Amino acid sequence: MRHAHFACLALLLVAGCAEESATCAAGEIRSPDGVCVPDTDLDAATLDAGEDAGEDAGDADTDPCEGRCLADELCDSDGRCVDCLADADCDAPTNPVCDDVGECVAGCTSNATCARFEATPACDEGGGTCVECDADDASQCGASESCDLIDFTCVPQETRRTCEACTNDDQCPGGHLCVTMTYEGLPRGVGGYCLQTTADAGVCPRPFQNERDASSLNDPTTRVEVCSIFEDLQTCEAVRALIDDRLCTGDGACQNSMGAFVPVEGALCRNLGGEMRCTVRCSGAVSCEPVDGTSASECISGYCDTP
């Protein structure tokens, strides 16, 4: 019988099988090369090799990149090794979005994109990055904190006075909003200033009798009437120095609450009541404020002075 098998094999090698799909004769088996051979001549190692080759071919079908990708890369359907296939593959809050070419980039447009980041669940839509907080989500801020809407971080909650710098409405007194301001036609500061709304004030007090519409940092799309200073002549810092009766060493140099002399844009240094104190330019009494808390300052020679 064994000789018959070898005879059949010889015939197959000379003439070939009639068709590759033909069934091998009894007692024969098809080798990995597609040739019918006696089953006793095909050892286990040869069969295993054929099975492994089939498995490898199957793996190639499911991995278009054929194992070329690095450990931190993924394989896309076009056979490219990429950083990501979906937003969820991007693990850096600064680059939370997977773009069309499989790269993690900045580009969030809503807090939903950042919800997967526990420490930075809010979206800075201007920069496209996931941040600690924003006007809509301050969940990361403690009870004694508010969200800085410039840096999008939680900061200690300190109530400011009228015309003091702020980065969130919550930092201002009741009836006030944190609004952006200008000085001589140019944007002032990097955040806003606490100004009272006309609805809360009823009648705007001196020197905040310049009624104008504004929007707060918390809600830039809504316009509200506020009691402001005369921003073509004054800055809030200079007006506060006048109200707080600060000493000065020269124009633009006023004493702060710690006793140090610091730069104050828009401030003038004039002799007020016998001492050199900070004041501001004016266009009328409505833009001036009591200097010593008892007598109102008037607009004299273009700046607020005691009569």
**pLDDT tens digits for 222-231?**
999 999 999 9
Residue 65 to residues 56, 74, 77, 139, 141, Cα–Cα distance (Å) = 13, 9, 9, 42, 45
What's the pTM value of the predicted model, to 2 decimals?
0.72
Q: Three-state DSSP class for 263?
A: strand
Which pLDDT score, from 0 to 100, does residue 24 have?
73
- In this predicted structure, what is the pLDDT of residue 16? 45
- Note the residue count of the chain: 307
Yes or no: say if 203 and 227 are a contact pair by the CB < 8 Å rule.
Answer: no
Q: Phi and psi at residue 38, in whole multiples of 5°?
A: -60, 135
Instruction: Give residue 152's pLDDT.
Output: 97
* pLDDT number for residue 88: 96
What is the per-residue pLDDT for 240? 94
- 165/237 Cα distance (integer angstroms): 8
pLDDT for residue 290: 60
Q: How far is CA 1 from CA 22, 24, 44, in A?
A: 22, 16, 22
> With helix as H, strand as E and coil as C, how does 155-224 read?
EECCCCCCCCEECCHHHCCCCEEEEEEEECCEEEEEEEEEEEEHHHHCCCCCCCCEEEEECECCCCCCCE
Q: 72 φ, ψ to 5°? A: -100, 15
pLDDT recorded at residue 281? 96
Q: What pLDDT, on a 0 to 100 scale, did the predictor assign at position 299?
A: 92
Q: Which residues of the chain have pLDDT under 70?
A: 1-22, 27, 31-34, 37, 39-61, 290-296
The confidence score (pLDDT) of residue 208 equals: 94
Alpha-carbon distance 39 to 99, whole Å? 55
Question: Can you give the pLDDT at residue 189?
Answer: 80
Check whether the bond before 207 is cis (ω within 30° of 0). yes
Q: State residue 61's pLDDT score.
A: 58
Distance CA 288, CA 276 (A): 17
Q: What does the alpha-carbon distance between residue 32 and residue 204 come to, in Å, rounded to a whole number?
A: 94
Domain chopping of the chain, boundaries: 2-61, 74-131, 159-232, 235-307
pLDDT value for 297: 80
